[in-house]
């Protein structure tokens, strides 16, 4: 059984607005891009704004290094290694082809320096050196990569190396790459700042970040390029304007210029036609509910994490939120215990549905108060 409480956003502005019957402006279709697949998603709400074959398995090329960097950060966070650890460069790492940081065999380089070389210069040598330092060998590190992919819900991803070097069963998808990118931005913001660096010099060799968007748009602060003959030209990008952050993934473009312009078009589309709003904050009290058999008669309910929505610009007043609360609620109640559901709709379409929980614990009341509540419930 549920008690229903409806919260209407902007009710009075709707009643007295001269545009009461105005029809909302339609959102144009996303840009048409020449790429194997693409994906545009809001970081906070997870709302998908544009997509094409987002679950198509493709070769991710050097975008693979996002997972390598993620696991380096995780190892540091877990206390397994430190940024100051010195890594002895193996012959395998030194001999890696493709993009390089130009480390020298037998030399010792800090984890921090190697991480910068991996992120900014896309160094294959740095990737292998870090993988060997964490797991003992690159092949063992790949096991960590695939395990972490499953933990993050990247169900269409399989790694066979730490660099993105072409391999038969090495693949990912636009959706999975966006999932990894969001986790990286959320969990390791200190390392994420390296993705916006335009250049890095190591061993007196100055190299530039291949993400051309960093020179085009100040709101763009990452993320990673990739290219092989089989993968084509790939780019995962992220930008923040105000409180809104978007992540775009473009895979299999025909050229560096095409992946850059396609990514810019996706981000421009998202920021131009949509807005992201924080509706409720963690532990914010939404209402109180009648509590039976407790040491108090009311329990406050709210949400256990921030609730964001991404909607067409100018449509905030059209949002409708309703709360369904389980009835009756009986003590004892623990903090965080589910009390019901909050549903948010736009034009009768459900866009968010989240649990509401008790914001604090409530113990059982006295024997007398519980007996009185029992009698009240019988007559109720």
Q: Are 209 and 224 in contact (CB under 8 A)?
A: no
Pairing of strands 199-202, 205-208: antiparallel
The string of pLDDT tens digits covering residues 220-260 is 999 999 999 999 999 999 999 999 999 999 999 999 999 99
pLDDT > 90? residue 285: yes
- Structure tokens given for 239: 């930008």
Average confidence score pLDDT of the chain: 92
Q: Does domain 37-274 have CATH number 3.40.190.10?
A: no
The string of pLDDT tens digits covering residues 83-103 is 999 999 999 999 999 999 999
Q: Which residues of 36-73 are buried (b: 16+ CB within 10 A; e: fewer)?
A: bbbbbbbbbbebebbbbbbeeebbbbbbbbbbbbbbbb
Contacts of 319 (CB under 8 A, 6+ apart): 9, 10, 279, 309, 311, 344, 345, 346
pLDDT > 50? residue 372: yes
Q: How far is CA 196 from CA 153, 182, 191, 201, 272, in A?
A: 26, 15, 10, 15, 23
Provide the residue ranges of all domains of the chain, joining segments of one domain with +: 2-17+281-379, 37-274
- Structure tokens given for 319: 């949002």
Distance CA 165, CA 146 (A): 16
DSSP 209: -
pLDDT number for residue 8: 45
Q: Does domain 2-17+281-379 have CATH number 2.60.410.10?
A: yes
Mean pLDDT throughout 354-367? 92
pLDDT number for residue 15: 38
**Of 25 and 67, the one with more pLDDT:** 67
Which residues carry out catalysis?
Answer: 62, 65, 122
The string of pLDDT tens digits covering residues 198-219 is 999 998 999 999 999 999 999 9
pLDDT tier, 25 (very low <50, low <70, confident <90, very high otherwise): confident
- Structure tokens given for 49: 């704004």
């Amino acid at each position: 059984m549920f008690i229903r409480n409806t919260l209407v956003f902007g009710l009075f502005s709707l009643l007295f607005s001269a545009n009461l019957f105005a029809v909302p402006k339609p959102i144009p279709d996303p840009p048409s891009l020449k790429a194997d697949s693409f994906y545009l998603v809001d970081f906070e709400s997870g709302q998908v704004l544009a997509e094409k074959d987002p679950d198509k398995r493709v070769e991710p090329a050097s975008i693979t290094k996002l997972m390598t960097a993620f696991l380096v950060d995780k190892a540091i966070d877990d206390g397994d290694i430190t940024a100051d650890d010195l890594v002895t460069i193996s012959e395998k790492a030194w001999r890696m082809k493709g993009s390089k940081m130009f480390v020298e065999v037998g030399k010792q380089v800090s984890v921090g320096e190697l991480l910068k070389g991996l992120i900014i210069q896309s160094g294959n040598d740095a990737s292998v050196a870090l993988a060997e330092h964490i797991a003992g060998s690159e092949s063992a590190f790949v096991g960590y990569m695939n395990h972490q992919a499953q933990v993050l819900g990247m169900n269409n991803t399989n790694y066979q190396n730490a660099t993105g070097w072409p391999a038969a069963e090495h693949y990912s998808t636009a959706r999975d790459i966006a999932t990894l990118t969001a986790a990286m931005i959320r969990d390791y913001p200190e390392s994420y700042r390296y993705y916006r660096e335009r250049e890095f010099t190591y061993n007196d060799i100055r190299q530039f970040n291949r993400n051309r968007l960093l020179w085009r748009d100040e709101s763009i602060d990452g993320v990673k390029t990739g290219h092989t003959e089989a993968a084509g030209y790939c780019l995962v990008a992220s930008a923040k304007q105000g409180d809104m952050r978007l992540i775009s993934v473009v895979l299999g473009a025909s050229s560096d210029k095409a992946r850059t312009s396609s990514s810019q078009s996706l981000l421009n589309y998202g920021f131009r036609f949509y807005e992201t709003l924080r509706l409720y904050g963690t532990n914010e009290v939404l209402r109180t509910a009648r509590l039976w058999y407790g040491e108090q008669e009311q329990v406050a309910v709210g949400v256990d994490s921030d609730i964001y929505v991404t909607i067409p610009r100018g449509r905030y007043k059209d949002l409708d939120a309703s709360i369904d609360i389980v009835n009756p609620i009986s003590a004892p109640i623990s903090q965080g215990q589910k009390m019901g559901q909050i549903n948010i709709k736009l034009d009768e379409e459900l866009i968010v549905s989240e649990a509401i929980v008790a914001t604090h614990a409530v113990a059982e009341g006295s024997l007398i108060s519980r007996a009185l509540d029992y009698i009240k419930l019988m007559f109720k």
